[in-house]
Structure 1
Amino acid sequence: MSHRFTALPAVRSFVLFSSAGAALASVGVSPVRADVVGRVKFHVLSAATQKPVPGAKITLEDSANVNPNLVLTTDANGEVTTPPLENRVWVATTDADSFQVDARRVTVQADVTSEVTIRLGAIAQGSGTVIVTRPLVRTGQTSSSTVRDQSFYQKFPLAAGNPQSLTKALRSNPGFVEDSVNQAHPRGEHASTSVYINGFLLPGALQGRAGQFLSPETIQTFDVQTGAYAPEYGGETAAILNLSLRSGTIDPFIDARLGGGGFGTFTGSLTFGGQAGAAAGGADVHGDIAKKFGYLVNLSQYNTDNALEAPQPGNQSAHNAQQSTTAFGNFSYAAGPSDQFNLVINTAPARTEVANRTGLPDEYAPFGQGFGYAGALSAEEAQTRGIASQEALRQDIYQRDNNTFTAFQYRKQFSPSLTGLFSLGYSNSKLDILNDNPEAFRNATVSSATLAEDSSLEFSPTIKREYDQTEFSASLTAVRSRHTFKFGGLYSDQSGDESYQLIPGSQAALNALFATDPRLAPQGGTLDEDGNYLLGTATATPTLQVKREGYYAAGYVQDTYRVTRRFTLNYGLRLDAYKQSQNLGQDSVNQTRLSPRINTAYVIAPLTVARLSYNRLFTQPPLAQGAILGLSVQPQMTDLYEANVEKQFGGNQTVKVAYYQKEDRNQLDTGILIEGTQIGAYTSISLGKATIKGFEFSYDLNPRNSIGWGGYLAWANSTAKPRGLNNLGEVIDDAYNDHDQLNTITGGVSYGLPSGAEAGLSYYYGSGTASSVLDETSGRQGRQEVNLRVGTGEQQRKKQAVGFTLEVQNLFDSRKRVNF
Structure 2
Amino acid sequence: MVSTACTVMAAGSHTAQAQLVTGTSSPATTGNTPVTTGAVVAGTSSPAPNPVVPDQPETVTVRLDRARAELQPSLGAQVYRFGRGAIHTLPQADNAPLNQLFLQAPGVAQDSYGQIHVRGDHNEVQFRIDGVQLPEGIAVFGQALETRFAHDAALITGALPAQYGFLQAAVIDINTKSGRTDPGGELSIYGGARDYFQPSFAYGASSGRWDFFITGDYLHNRVGIENPTSNFNAIHDLSNQYHGLAKLQYTPDDTTRVSLIGGISNAEYQIPNNPNQTPGLGLSFNGVTDYDSRDLDEHQKEITDFAILSVQKQVGTLDLQSSVFTRYSSLYYSPDIMGDLLFDGISQTAARSVWSTGTQTDASWHVSRDHTVRAGFQIFGERNSSGTNSIVSPQVGEDEAGNAIYGDRPIGIHDGAGKTGLIYGLYLQDEWRILPSLTVNYGVRFDGVSEYVSSTQLSPRINVVWRPTSTTTLHAGYSRYFTPPPFEEITNNSIGDFANTSAAAAVTRNDKVQPERDNYFDAGIDQIVLPGLHVGFDGYYKQANELIDEGQFGAPIILSAFNYAKGQVHGYEATTSYEKGPLSLYGNVAWSRAIGKRITSSQFDFDPEELSYISNRWVHLDHDQRWTGSGGAAYSFFHQTAHPLRASADLVTGSGLRADGDVPNGRALPGYYVINLALMQTFKNTILKGTTLRLDVLNLLDRRYIIRDGSGIGVGAPQYGLRRTILAGIAQRF
**TM-score bracket for this pair, using the shorter chain length:** 0.7 to 0.9
Structure-2 change in CA distance of 1:217 and 1:113 (3 Å)? closer
Matched AA of 2:524 = N
1:471 partnered with 2:358: yes
Unaligned runs of 5+ in 2: 5-12, 28-46, 53-57, 60-64, 283-287, 493-508, 604-610, 710-734
Structure 2: distance between partners of 1:464 and 1:153: 35
Structure-2 change in CA distance of 1:252 and 1:39 (3 Å)? closer
- Scaled by the length of structure 1, the TM-score of the pair is 0.72
Q: Is the 8 A contact 2:71 2:320 kept in 1?
A: no
**Structure 1 equivalent of residue 608 of structure 2:** none
For residues 270-316 of structure 1, the C-alpha deviation after alignment (integer angstroms, 9 at most, x for no partner) is 1110102xxxxxxxxxxxxxx20001111112111122221111153
Structure 2: distance between partners of 1:251 and 1:751: 24
Structure-2 change in CA distance of 1:390 and 1:172 (3 Å)? same
**Structure 1 equivalent of residue 421 of structure 2:** 550
Q: Is the 8 A contact 1:111 1:477 kept in 2?
A: no
**Structure 1 equivalent of residue 620 of structure 2:** 736
Q: Is the 8 A contact 1:640 1:661 kept in 2?
A: yes
2:571 to 673, 694, 697: 694
Q: Secondary structure of 1:741's partner?
A: coil
2:310 to 409, 430, 440: 409
The offset of 1:626, in angstroms, is: 5.3
Q: Is the 8 A contact 1:748 1:760 kept in 2?
A: yes
Q: Is the 8 A contact 1:40 1:82 kept in 2?
A: no
Structure 1: distance between partners of 2:663 and 2:279: 19
**Structure 2 equivalent of residue 399 of structure 1:** 300
Matched AA of 1:571 = Y
Structure-2 change in CA distance of 1:113 and 1:634 (3 Å)? closer
Structure 2: distance between partners of 1:715 and 1:112: 30
Structure-2 change in CA distance of 1:647 and 1:39 (3 Å)? closer
How do 1:625-774 and structure 2 match up within 5 A?
A: 625=489, 627=491, 630-674=510-554, 677=555, 679-702=556-579, 704=581, 708-728=582-602, 730-731=611-612, 732=614, 735-753=619-637, 754=639, 755-771=643-659
Structure-2 change in CA distance of 1:40 and 1:626 (3 Å)? closer
Instruction: Return 326-335 or 783-792, whichever deviates more.
Output: 783-792
Instruction: Return 590-599 or 756-765, whichever deviates more.
Output: 756-765
Structure 2: distance between partners of 1:181 and 1:743: 21
Instruction: Return 217-226 or 344-353, whichever deviates more.
Output: 217-226
**Structure 1 equivalent of residue 279 of structure 2:** 372
1:460 partnered with 2:347: yes
1:149 partnered with 2:23: no
Structure-2 change in CA distance of 1:83 and 1:809 (3 Å)? same
Q: Secondary structure of 1:172's partner?
A: coil
Structure 2: distance between partners of 1:563 and 1:794: 52
**Structure 2 equivalent of residue 64 of structure 1:** 25
1:434 partnered with 2:334: yes
Q: Secondary structure of 2:180's partner?
A: coil
Q: Is the 8 A contact 1:667 1:686 kept in 2?
A: yes
Matched AA of 2:552 = I
Q: Is the 8 A contact 2:124 2:168 kept in 1?
A: yes
Q: Is the 8 A contact 1:112 1:560 kept in 2?
A: no
Q: Is the 8 A contact 2:362 2:376 kept in 1?
A: yes
1:234 partnered with 2:165: yes
Structure 2: distance between partners of 1:398 and 1:240: 31
The offset of 1:111, in angstroms, is: 6.0
Q: Percent identity at matched positions?
A: 21
Q: Secondary structure of 2:354's partner?
A: strand
**Structure 1 equivalent of residue 271 of structure 2:** 354
Structure 2: distance between partners of 1:65 and 1:420: 16
1:193 partnered with 2:125: yes
Structure 2: distance between partners of 1:775 and 1:425: 45
The offset of 1:592, in angstroms, is: 0.6
Q: Is the 8 A contact 2:520 2:540 kept in 1?
A: yes
Structure 2: distance between partners of 1:620 and 1:778: 30
Q: Is the 8 A contact 2:179 2:206 kept in 1?
A: yes
Q: Secondary structure of 1:358's partner?
A: coil
Q: Is the 8 A contact 1:247 1:330 kept in 2?
A: yes
The offset of 1:334, in angstroms, is: 0.2
Structure 1: distance between partners of 2:460 and 2:250: 37
Q: Is the 8 A contact 2:449 2:456 kept in 1?
A: yes
1:83 partnered with 2:50: yes
- Higher radius of gyration, 1 or 2: 1
Structure 2: distance between partners of 1:326 and 1:493: 25
For residues 608-661 of structure 1, the C-alpha deviation after alignment (integer angstroms, 9 at most, x for no partner) is 100000000011222444555711111111110011001123322321101100
Structure 2: distance between partners of 1:498 and 1:275: 43
1:270 to 201, 205, 216: 201
Structure-2 change in CA distance of 1:424 and 1:652 (3 Å)? same
Q: Is the 8 A contact 2:268 2:301 kept in 1?
A: yes
**Structure 1 equivalent of residue 253 of structure 2:** 336
Tell me how large the CA RMSD over aligned residues is: 3.4
**Structure 1 equivalent of residue 689 of structure 2:** 800
Structure 2: distance between partners of 1:815 and 1:196: 35
How do 1:489-568 and structure 2 match up within 5 A?
A: 489-504=377-392, 532-535=403-406, 538=409, 540-568=411-439
1:790 partnered with 2:679: yes
The offset of 1:544, in angstroms, is: 1.7
Q: Secondary structure of 1:603's partner?
A: strand
Q: Is the 8 A contact 2:67 2:319 kept in 1?
A: no
1:247 to 157, 175, 178: 178
Structure 2: distance between partners of 1:774 and 1:259: 46
Unaligned runs of 5+ in 1: 1-24, 29-37, 43-57, 67-79, 86-90, 93-106, 115-137, 277-290, 360-369, 377-384, 443-450, 505-509, 511-521, 582-588
Q: Is the 8 A contact 2:149 2:215 kept in 1?
A: yes
Instruction: Return 145-154 or 624-633, whichever deviates more.
Output: 624-633
The offset of 1:575, in angstroms, is: 0.3
Q: Secondary structure of 1:643's partner?
A: strand
The offset of 1:765, in angstroms, is: 0.8
Q: Is the 8 A contact 2:241 2:266 kept in 1?
A: yes
**Structure 1 equivalent of residue 448 of structure 2:** 577
Structure-2 change in CA distance of 1:180 and 1:251 (3 Å)? closer
How do 1:173-184 and structure 2 match up within 5 A?
A: 173-184=105-116
Q: Is the 8 A contact 1:772 1:817 kept in 2?
A: no
Matched AA of 2:198 = T
1:590 to 444, 447, 454: 454
How do 1:190-229 and structure 2 match up within 5 A?
A: 190-206=122-138, 208-229=139-160
Structure 2: distance between partners of 1:386 and 1:311: 24
For residues 30-49 of structure 1, the C-alpha deviation after alignment (integer angstroms, 9 at most, x for no partner) is xxxxxxxx97599xxxxxxx
* Moved beyond 6 Å, runs of 4+: 25-28, 774-778
Q: Secondary structure of 1:312's partner?
A: coil
The offset of 1:530, in angstroms, is: 5.7
